[in-house]
Amino acid sequence: MQRLQQFFLLLLVGAAAAGLAQATVAQEEQTKVAGNIVHYQPEQVHLAFGETVLDIVVTWNTRDNTNESTCEFGIGGLNQRAKAAQMPTKFVDGGPKKATQYIHRVTLSQLQPNSTYLYHCGSDLGWSATYWFQTHFDHSDWAPSLAIYGDMGVVNAVSLPALQRETQRGQYDAIIHVGDFAYDMEKENGEVGDEFMRQVETIAAYVPYMVCVGNHEEKYNFSHYINRFSMPGGRDNMFYSFDLGPVHFIGFSTEFYYFTQFGIKQIVAQYDWLEQDLIEANRPENRRKRPWIITFGHRPMYCSNDNGDDCANHETIVRKGLPMLDMFGLEPLFYQYGVDVELWAHEHCYERMWPMYNYTVYNGSLSEPYVNPGAPIHIISGAAGNHEGREPFFKHMPPWSAFHSQDFGYLRLKAHNASHLYFEQVSDDKKGAVIDSFWVIKDKHGPYNA
């Protein structure tokens, strides 16, 4: 009996040893597989306008190279296919890990106007979820709606839930993000940028997400901003324009004026391009077709914030130009060519100003300041949410500041027609309440005469 018990004990020990050996082999195999995981699944999907509003550029990322970039799309089904002529772009983060990903871009060209398209993107190695977008008219006789904001990070992205909800309800035709993304895209070897792009996918996969660069994108010579987005014009997303309804929008870089270690040629190139674009927009046939000109850049020419930022100084660099030289300042340029509205961010607040030029107010009239104003209207909306907090204001506000708020929130624009624009600022602190609204009304557009 004792020998029989010893025999069974030996069998149990042997079985346990065999099981342990098998588990060890399985663990080793799992480790081998883990070391060779491939990441072909698309992520961070977002849209932008191409060279026209009927050309939509779809951009996404994969961790590994799929060697192809394809979109399947169509009205009512995925019955068309567009493939990028170029291979995916390899993007290596500048951090210590040199994290690598591949950027894919496919242009869906000559789409039908006023139509809802379904699409998904990827390759035969993996596909994204199916999204949708609404195309617009390529003429000016319609009224687009936009959400506009800057300075939204991964942490404390206060405006994001409302923007997600409103975008997926079809409330907006486009989004304009006026600089400062993620805080900051390059952090944690680019993982913060990846998380930001995943978060805004719930907006940017459904409407064109148009952007301009901010100071928080400076790291590694703006490489994350340049690689992650796909704005029209082929100028590294730094300056470009697009037409939407009755509005000619111009996005540009204020950061060229501050990070001059990257050279001043970019300031000259942008200034020359801006002037040529404004000349073209002011041709009589173009100004009749799209009478409104709206610019957007990150750092404001004017602000009332008591934080030492450049916009609180009298001679702001963007406004006046390079110090000592007073060259390439944008305020005279925008005034000369009749820019109607200038949109800014950078300050974590909302501020609306009276129509002004060179610190002088040019209201249309005392009772109707925004009816046929005599100078551009400046609006700051940089309060979409970030961990740096709110900006303080001066105790004594300057006479050119019409309204200001520290509330987190975002700006809405409805371009009704050739004569009427409507703006409203939404407060997230007040659960979506509109805290400021106003109309800009013009019966003629063009250069100002002070």
Domain boundaries, the chain: 38-138, 139-441
| pLDDT value at residue 449 | 77
Q: 164-178, 255-269, 322-336 — which one is most confidently predicted on average?
A: 164-178
Q: Which residues contact 232 (CB under 8 A, 6 or more apart)?
A: 48, 49, 50, 51, 57, 240, 241, 242
Q: State yes or no: pLDDT of 2 exceeds 70.
A: no
| pLDDT value at residue 35 | 55
In CATH terms, is domain 38-138 a member of 2.60.40.380?
A: yes
Q: Are 159 and 149 in contact (CB under 8 A)?
A: yes
| pLDDT value at residue 34 | 47
| pLDDT value at residue 28 | 38
Q: Are 59 and 50 in contact (CB under 8 A)?
A: no
Region for 151 from its dihedrals, namely left if φ exceeds 0, alpha if ψ lies in -120 to 50, beta otherwise: left
423 phi/psi in degrees, rounded to 5: -120, 145
| pLDDT tens digits, 391-422 | 999 999 999 999 999 999 999 999 999 999 99
The helix, strand and coil proportions of the chain, stated in percent and rounded to the nearest 5, come to: 25, 30, 45
pLDDT tier, 325 (very low <50, low <70, confident <90, very high otherwise) = confident
| pLDDT value at residue 38 | 83
Q: Distance between CA 352 and CA 152 in Å, rounded?
A: 20
Average pLDDT over residues 360-370: 96
The share of the chain scoring above pLDDT 70, in percent, equals 92
Average pLDDT taken over every residue of the chain: 92
Q: State yes or no: pLDDT of 297 exceeds 80.
A: yes
Closest among 237, 236, 219 to 182, alpha carbons compared: 219
| pLDDT tens digits, 75-120 | 999 999 999 999 999 999 999 999 999 999 999 999 999 999 999 9
- For residue 238, count other CB atoms closer than 10 A to its CB: 21
Q: Whole-prediction pTM value?
A: 0.91
Q: State yes or no: pLDDT of 182 exceeds 50.
A: yes
- For residue 110, count other CB atoms closer than 10 A to its CB: 8
In CATH terms, is domain 139-441 a member of 3.30.70.1380?
A: no
| pLDDT tens digits, 4-57 | 444 334 444 344 444 434 444 344 344 334 456 789 999 999 999 999 999 999
283 phi/psi in degrees, rounded to 5: -60, 135
Q: Are 364 and 371 in contact (CB under 8 A)?
A: yes
| pLDDT tens digits, 111-127 | 999 999 999 999 999 99
Is residue 64 classed as helix, strand or coil in its secondary structure?
coil
Q: Distance between CA 323 and CA 312 in Å, rounded?
A: 16
Closest among 218, 223, 138, 233 to 183, alpha carbons compared: 218
* Same fold: 38-138 with 139-441: no
Locate 248 and state its tokens. 């000619």
Beta strands 247-251 and 292-296: pairing type? parallel
